[in-house]
A = this chain, B = another copy of it.
Amino acid sequence: MEVKKDMQVKQVAVDKKPEFKNFPMVPRVVFGKGSFNQLGDILMPKRKHSEAPFIFLVDDVFENTELAQRVPLIFNDQIIFISAEEEPKTDQVDALVSKIKSEYQDLPSGIVGIGGGTLLDLAKAVAILLTNKGGSSEYQGWDLVQKPSIFHVGIPTISGTGAEVSRTAVLLGPEKKLGINSDYTTFGQVLLDPDLTQGVSKEQWFYTGMDCYIHCIESLTGTYLNAFSQSYGEKALELCKEVYLGDISEEDSRDKLMMASWHGGMSIAYSQVGVAHAMSYGLGYLLGVKHGIGNCLVFQHLEEFYPEGVALFNKMKEKHGIKLPTGICSNLSEREFETMIFVAMNMVPLWENALGKNWRDTITPEKLESIYRKI
């Protein structure tokens, strides 16, 4: 993996304890095998006029596939295929916005993201930046977006991130990896068709599902939890267990993992993630390690913090014959470790959620380095 050149971490994520937040839910959701066929009908009433297109941002693994042909293009609609090999970036968002603005006189009727967390987060961010001035990095943070976004639709093709239901679009920027956290980020429409997750590789299926599993463990054992988030988190966790340890059909498994992701995303409304996410942000920032696998790489070494959660994780990993890569951090310099540790330790609310106000008694740079060195 390429090591990030610019080591100047000027600002990193700061989260807020979302007590009594007026949480924005996705106002429309369709669920069902084959419901993707309804997409044209769903978009029709949202078309402003024939010159205001829908722009479909689609994971490029679907290029030249049947799914791409089923995208209901009319008028001057456009599909833009995008690689999800790397985490979504602020530059990428800005380039997409420029492209769309230069190609069309009118604002689009809407943006439709079709793919995993990367495509969904790009769709959210592009929808926001089409109506808000400047670059996307200016909006990384909490409630910095001033104007409503254009209509945007999320259609997951892999389950686990919760991006379909969250109010954030996590982007890797020049100075930070941080979400655009805003009420305007939430999708205006989500379509959940479990059939779309059929072609996913076993590894991707595992890493992305574990994103959901790990954030459930982190939020359910955290200090921020309330009954709202607990009920969603418990259901998501239960569904993960059915999917990764149960004896159910593949069809049921796809259905249930899609719902696990949905509930897992909702559980974050009034809770927060924890140690694995904080440390995974460090890996992601420095090495570009993707979110799902990054969480797994860290989580396997967190028995101290999540003994039961890690035991179950190992069981699931074994059952599905998943071998995590090793030696990721073996050739890093001291300065690189410092950067990762700096990024991770700045995720204050995640640590507070995990360990309480006195988290600094437990979490030291040495402690984090010793964990990173195992990865």
Contact A256 B227 (CB under 8 A): yes
A32-B226 contact, Cβ under 8 Å, with A25-B26, A27-B24: yes
Q: Does A22 make an interface contact (CB < 8 A)?
A: yes
Q: Does A252 make an interface contact (CB < 8 A)?
A: yes
Q: Does A335 make an interface contact (CB < 8 A)?
A: no
Chain A interface, number of residues (Cβ within 8 angstroms): 38
Residues on B with beta carbons closer than 8 Å to the beta carbon of A270? 31-32
A190 to B26, CA, bound (A): 14
Contact A259 B231 (CB under 8 A): yes
Residues in A137-187 with C-beta less than 8 Å from chain B: none
- Give min CB distance, A155 to chain B, whole Å: 13
Q: Does A47 make an interface contact (CB < 8 A)?
A: no
A269 to B234, CA, bound (A): 20
- Give min CB distance, A193 to chain B, whole Å: 9
- Give min CB distance, A251 to chain B, whole Å: 9
A31-B228 contact, Cβ under 8 Å, with A25-B26, A38-B20, A42-B22: yes
Residue of B nearest to A26 (CB): B25
Residue of B nearest to A234 (CB): B235
Query: In the complex this chain forms, how many copies of it are found?
Result: 2
Residues on B with beta carbons closer than 8 Å to the beta carbon of A238? 234
Residues on B with beta carbons closer than 8 Å to the beta carbon of A22? 28-30, 38, 42, 189
Q: Does A263 make an interface contact (CB < 8 A)?
A: yes
Residues in A213-263 with C-beta less than 8 Å from chain B: 226-228, 231-232, 234-235, 238-239, 252, 255-256, 258-259, 263
Residues on B with beta carbons closer than 8 Å to the beta carbon of A23? 28-31
A31 to B22, CA, bound (A): 8
29 contacts between A and B (CB under 8 A): A20-B30, A20-B32, A20-B34, A20-B35, A21-B30, A22-B29, A22-B30, A22-B42, A22-B189, A23-B28, A23-B29, A23-B31, A24-B27, A24-B28, A25-B26, A31-B226, A31-B227, A31-B270, A32-B226, A32-B228, A192-B228, A194-B227, A227-B256, A228-B259, A231-B259, A231-B263, A232-B235, A234-B238, A235-B235
